[in-house]
Chains A and B, each alone.
Chain A
Amino acid sequence: MAEKLETASEVDQGPQTVGGIGGIGGGDGVAGVGGGTAAGGGAAGPVVTSYGSWWRIRLSLLRRSVHDNWVIFRRNRMGIAGLVIIGFWMLMAVMPSLFFATGFWNRAVYDPVTGLETDPPTRTVIMVERVTDPRTEIDRRAVLMDGRIPSDLGLGDTFELPLQPAPPNSRHWLGTDPLGRDVLSQLMHGARSSFFLGILAATVTVVIATLVGSVAAYYGGVIDSLLMRLADLLIMIPGLALLIVIGSVVTFQLWHLAMVIGILSGFGGTAVVLKSQALAVKVKPFVDAARVAGGTGRHIVLYHLIPSVMPLSVLYMMFTVTAAIQSEAVLSFLGLLNVDTSWGLMIQLAHTQGYLLQAGEFWWLVFPAGLAVTLLAMAFFLLGRGLDEVINPRLRRR
């Protein structure tokens, strides 16, 4: 895996050196170099003089390591399940753009924030003194409470009751919420903000944590102890309580939250784990070789320590995504997040309007959003565990 990412980072620099992607795409070319790579092994770089073939060898190495790791990963059924769920939600997140663009969804009706179903399905009910069948009868006293019913009706009159949290129907596949907005559309847009937040938070975490971890491991001394004491402190602080307190003073935007989570996790727990990994790499002979060859500290940290810590940091990225999705949902549930649509907000609405304790009757308000948060968080967690098996050979089934 370390090899894979090392190669991956150099592949990124590739196009400038090679000066065109066109020549490398051919599958047969890569297959042709395969034999040479097997002989050259890891030292292929310096042996080959032409830039073109250097590039091909790197690519084939990358392919092979991706393939090998995929074979290991594929055996972990839970990791695959995680990947499938993430794929499903990604699809969900893309859908609304497609629906709006093709005109399948009308913005006025299906917009997750301002959309309104003006023509909700109705149900014929009869006003009675004592309700025996709540599906067709309504209590006389409920008229005053329920603004939807004209007050000039008498006992025994029948009327059409508009159903505002409408149950799933052909226009709204997951029904509408109490404000007449489409639940499916909100769910899809919620997936979008969850992905945005999770990925941003995880990226910030990984960038900070790899830097902090490898710098602390390489330089040691005062820098190390300062950074590690900070990490201890951050591990100890209950993060959610901290986010709530910060939420009392500032109004959180989604990306503020991502930054805060990223910084907390990046300087905290993730940094400690990555530091121990970097320490293990630091004592390897190739780092000594680099130092003897005159590599500066900056060079060694950037080109040797960080690439070898990368795979592990990808793993922790997954766990950060899980944490970020959950924090977002909790904060928007508590009303401390300034966000248009989110799954937490959907639950909050259902909760404050009292539908949550009637989960049996109003299941479409309660279960989709709650399960969505759980499923997506779980998917990233499962993916992380699957990757863990790829990265830590000790965990594999023997």
Chain B
Amino acid sequence: MVVLFFVFLTVTWFLLYALPGDSVAQQFAGNPNIPPEARQVALERLGLDKSPLIQFRDYMTDFFRGDLGVSFSQYPRPVIDIIAERLPRTVVLFLTAMVTYYWAGFLAGKYLAWKRGRRGETLITVSGVGLYTVFMPWFALMLIWLFSVQLDLLPLSKFLDPVEWREAPFAANQVFMRMFWVTVTASVVLCAVGWASARAVDRRWGRLLRWGGGVLVIAGFVGYWYGTQPGQAMRVYAGDIAYHLILPVMTLTLVNFAGVMLLTRSSMLDTMREDFILTARAKGLPERVVRDRHAARTALLPVATSLTLAVATVIDGGVITETVFSWPGMGQILVSSVQLEDIPLAVGAFSFIGVLALIGHFVADMLYGLLDPRIRVTEHG
């Protein structure tokens, strides 16, 4: 992991260093006629007068000390500050979208394979492929047009509604982080309940645990926002942020779910030919159990593998989505800093997007190992 990240940083740095750009000229608003003295001063200030190897060493040590330089476009603000503010917003968008679209895609693919040969199949597959290959910025803007302009249901863009926040006693990030942690806690508890209920000895106890636990967690989640003091005060603002989150998540889900759907379908079809499915049917198990317990479980494996490959794609999609929706996350900062030629910010944002991809990759790998017991004994090769 660390080695991979180091390599990634090195490649990024050398890529940007090797490319024919004049960062000094860019700082002087593209004026090529800079006096030589001023140029020298600028070079020294940016540390560009030293040899590349020393520059590289400086960059690396600074990076791991958390110093990514100062942004040109938001001048005295250090890059790391901007990133610290933006990173959680991207992570939330990314996680929510990832969970929704995997869930939706897997479900759709499962039914598509099970009902193979029905009339709707071609239609669903074609529209799935269409969504998968759609021109994303255009599609996102069309969704805005449909839902915000024509139907006037959802907000146009942005992270929050400034008018509502004018008298807010909280900073946006404070509310946002609170939302984030409450939701994460609730989901973790929910997962734990699900896990425990699946392993309960008595079937009846398991069902009770599942329903009771689920209702309790949801009640706790609602109760937090309505019952407790900080929750009550922040509720309106949190609701505003959640309201702004709907359309970006929807876009990402719609665009990405078809890939999962097609993959699940073909892996399901493969599984359904296996003998153990025939056995399960012969035993007289209900179709639903055969489908969900026997076929879908096995078909999940290749889909989980694709998770590792999908991380980069979803991050790319996130960059576009954030830009179109003016969602103030890493992707938007990346694009805007590139358009303003703010190199330190661009490199910083890109490195952290890389970190995000790396962690996502790692988690997906672990998840795969968890799902498939064979992975743990098989050697790499």
- Give the contacts of B89-114 with A (CB-CB under 8 A): none
The size class of the interface chain A forms with chain B is: 35 or more
* A241 and B137 contact, CB distance less than 8 A: no
Given the interface contacts A237-B8, A237-B354, A374-B135, does A244 sit within 8 Å of B334 by beta carbon?
yes
Which chain A residues lie closer than 8 Å to B134 at the CB level?
A: 374, 377
Cβ of A335 and Cβ of B339 under 8 Å apart? yes
Set of chain B residues within 8 Å of A358, measured between Cβ atoms: 149
Contacts of A357 in B (CB 8 A): 141, 144-145, 149
**What does the 1/0 interface line of A350-363 toward B look like (CB < 8 Å)?**
01000011111000
| A334 engages B323 (CB within 8 Å) | yes
Report yes or no: B316 in contact with A356, Cβ–Cβ below 8 A.
no
The answer, yes or no, to whether B36 is at the interface (CB within 8 Å) is: no
Query: A233-B7, A246-B19 given as contacts; is B357 within 8 A of A381 (CB)?
Result: no
* A370, B319: Cβ atoms closer than 8 Å: no
Q: With A and B bound together, what is the CA distance between A261 and B19 in angstroms?
A: 16
* B335 contacts partner chain A, Cβ-Cβ < 8 Å: yes
Tell me whether B41 is interfacial, beta carbon within 8 Å.
no
Contact indicator A247/B338 (Cβ below 8 Å): yes
Q: Per a CB cutoff under 8 Å, which of A78, A246, A334 touches B335?
A: A334
Stretch at the interface among A61-69, A93-101, A304-312, A322-330: A322-330
Q: Chain B residues with Cβ under 8 A from A329's Cβ?
A: 135, 137-138
Chain B: interface residue total (CB-CB under 8 A):
56
The reply to whether the CB of B66 lies closer than 8 angstroms to some CB of chain A is no
Rounded to whole Å, the gap between the CB of B117 and the closest CB of chain A is 9
A177–B358 Cα distance when bound, in Å, is: 43
Selecting from B42-50, B278-286, B307-315, the interface stretch reads B307-315
Q: Does B162 contact A (CB under 8 A)?
A: no
Residues A330 and B309 in contact, CB atoms below 8 Å apart:
no
Verify A248–B338 contact, CB threshold 8 A.
yes
A121 at the interface (CB under 8 A from B): no
A78-120 near B? 1/0 per residue, CB < 8 Å = 1001000000000000000000000000000000000000000
Q: Is A373 an interface residue (CB 8 A)?
A: yes
Q: Which residues of B contact A369 (CB under 8 A)?
A: 138
Chain A contacts for B145, CB-based, 8 A: 356-357, 359
B130:A374 contact, CB within 8 angstroms: yes
Are A236 and B311 in contact (CB-based, < 8 A)?
A: yes
A333 — which chain B residues lie within 8 A by C-beta?
A: 137-138
Residues of A within 8 A of B315 (CB): 238, 241
Q: Does B16 contact A (CB under 8 A)?
A: yes
What sequence of 0s and 1s flags, for each residue 235-270 of chain A, a beta carbon within 8 Å of any chain B beta carbon?
111111110111111100000000000000000010
Q: Spell out A's residues near B (CB within 8 Å).
A: 77-78, 81, 232-233, 235-242, 244-250, 269, 322, 326, 329-330, 333-336, 343-344, 347, 351, 356-360, 366, 369-370, 373-374, 377-378, 381-382, 385, 394-395
Given contacts A238-B353, A374-B133, 16 further A-B contacts (CB under 8 A): A235-B309, A236-B8, A241-B331, A241-B350, A241-B353, A246-B15, A247-B338, A248-B21, A249-B21, A329-B137, A330-B136, A336-B339, A351-B141, A358-B149, A366-B142, A374-B135
A-binding residues in B (CB < 8 A): 4, 7-8, 11-12, 15-16, 19-21, 122, 125-126, 129-130, 132-139, 141-142, 144-145, 149-150, 266, 270, 309, 311-313, 315-316, 319-320, 323, 331, 334-335, 337-339, 341, 343, 346-347, 350, 353-354, 357-358, 361
